[in-house]
Amino acid sequence: MPTTPPDATPPRPLAVPAPRPRPAWDAWDTEPARLPTGAKALIATLVPGRARPLARRERPRLTRSRLTDDDLAAIAGVVGAGNATRDDDTRALHLGGKSTPDLLRRRLDDPQPAPDAVILPAGHDEVAAVVSICDARGIAVVPFGGGTSVVGGVEPERGAHRAVVALDLVRTAALLDLDETSLLATFGAGTTGPQAEQMLAAHGYTIGHFPQSFEYASLGGYAATRSSGQASRGYGRFEDLVHALRIAAPAGELALGRSPASAAGPDLRQVFLGSEGALGVLTEITVRIRPAGAHRDRVSRLDVPRLRRGCLCAARGDAARHPSHRPAAER
Ligand SMILES: Cc1cc2nc3c(=O)[nH]c(=O)nc-3n(C[C@H](O)[C@H](O)[C@H](O)COP(=O)(O)OP(=O)(O)OC[C@H]3O[C@@H](n4cnc5c(N)ncnc54)[C@H](O)[C@@H]3O)c2cc1C
């Protein structure tokens, strides 16, 4: 049954989650990292001349901000003064992703390339206005979801631009719409996995997407990286779950994938899925949802001693299975 009568305008957003903490600048978690033995061994190979663990700095050294007062004032005019900052502590939380080399590099004495400012827009309209200002002023924009990238996707690269800002989508976190007839839910792109699941659980639904970065990664990040999770062979990879996208790009707004299905032309959603923020900012994501069933926590595991044997086992299992029954994730 729909949450609201069909003739009533549902409130938007339907729910806003509690704020979430940002992980520390050199750790996966909010607490400073204790380097595991494997990471210590990596230092010797990754950082030439460093056979010993790098001591943790109180805070990383950062490059100076190149954003002018005038740039900052123009952006703050859209998002509010408190949501556009050149503050070093905030810039330090947006140095890049969370791969082990990323985290280790930040302990070096050299100044770390940092975004010239961190911008926190509250929703699609603010994102669109910030993108437009930055485009007009020659400022690069790096969308920043959970910041869990392991491929350099959130590095603050200026390229040919005068400056670069990290566009942190944390304030967009919300459940915007819930269509219980079509089983679709629309979220602000900065909503994290746990926030989305918690807001859906209140209505008895799940997305069913559980990557290992679930704790911090955002739905916008899932879409921009074509994320795959532990239950993806059952529920589908994240790109299979995306029904619609709302996008703020320098050229304007795009709303893709509204109809239930279409046989016409190329599916432009596919261009933005996996685009890593290079083409525009995903501001709203509509995903397919399922009733949160009693079987959600049932996970089975099959250990195979050799990769080759595991591949054969998986392929034979796939071939023997009805196409609608997918197995669990294969690792
Ligand atoms: C410990 C660990 C475990 C991981 N496990 C998995 C796993 O199981 N499966 C998996 O697929 N990946 C995994 N990853 C990789 C990473 O978590 C995923 O790529 C995740 O989907 C990124 O989401 P995010 O919100 O953190 O995105 P971010 O790291 O913030 O951004 C990733 C990329 O997407 C872009 N982006 C982010 N939000 C938007 C937006 N709203 N609009 C446009 N572009 C955007 C960024 O600019 C960047 O290019 C793991 C990473 C770590 C550190």
Q: 133-192, pLDDT tens digit by residue? A: 999 999 999 999 999 999 999 999 999 999 999 999 999 999 999 999 999 999 999 999
Per-residue tokens: 69: 């007062």
Strand partners, 179: 184
219 lines ligand 1 (CB under 6 A): no
- Report pLDDT for 33: 67
Closest CA to 34 of 61, 56, 60: 56
pLDDT classification of 99: cutoffs 50, 70, 90: very high
pLDDT tens by residue, 189-230: 999 999 999 999 999 999 999 999 999 999 999 999 999 988
Phi/psi of residue 216, nearest 5 degrees = -115, -25
Instruction: Tell me the CA–centroid distance for residue 213 and ligand 1, in Å.
Output: 8
Q: β-strands 139-144, 281-288: how paired?
A: unpaired
Q: Do domains 37-169 and 173-291 have the same CATH topology?
A: no
276 lines ligand 1 (CB under 6 A): yes
Q: Are the beta carbons of 326 and 258 closer than 8 angstroms?
A: no
Sorted by where each begins, the domain ranges of the chain are: 37-169, 173-291
Rounded Cα–Cα distance for residues 134 and 223 (Å):
23
Instruction: Tell me the CA–centroid distance for residue 42 and ligand 1, in Å.
Output: 23
Report which of residues 149 and 326 the model is more confident about: 149
Mutate-to-test residue for ligand 1 from 213, 237, 240, highest number of ligand atoms within 8 A of CB: 213
97 lines ligand 1 (CB under 6 A): yes
Q: 128 burial class (0-12, 13-18, 19+ CB within 10 angstroms)?
A: buried
- Report pLDDT for 296: 55
Q: Which of 182-186, 198-202, 234-238, 280-284 has the lowest mean pLDDT?
A: 234-238
> Is the CATH code 3.20.20.70 the one for domain 173-291?
no
Helix (H, G, I), strand (E, B) or coil at 248: strand
227 lines ligand 1 (CB under 6 A): yes
Given this structure, which CATH class describes domain 37-169? alpha beta
- Report pLDDT for 1: 42
Q: Which residue has the tokens 């589908």?
A: 236
Q: In angstroms, what is the C-alpha Rg of the chain?
A: 21
Report which of residues 117 and 37 the model is more confident about: 117
Whether 45 shows a pLDDT value over 90: the answer reads no
Report which of residues 55 and 115 the model is more confident about: 115
Whether 83 shows a pLDDT value over 90: the answer reads yes
Share of the chain above pLDDT 90, in %: 64
CA distance readout (Å), 251 to 135, 136, 228, 248: 9, 11, 30, 8
Q: Which of 66-75, 106-115, 297-306 has the lowest mean pLDDT?
A: 297-306
- Report pLDDT for 131: 98
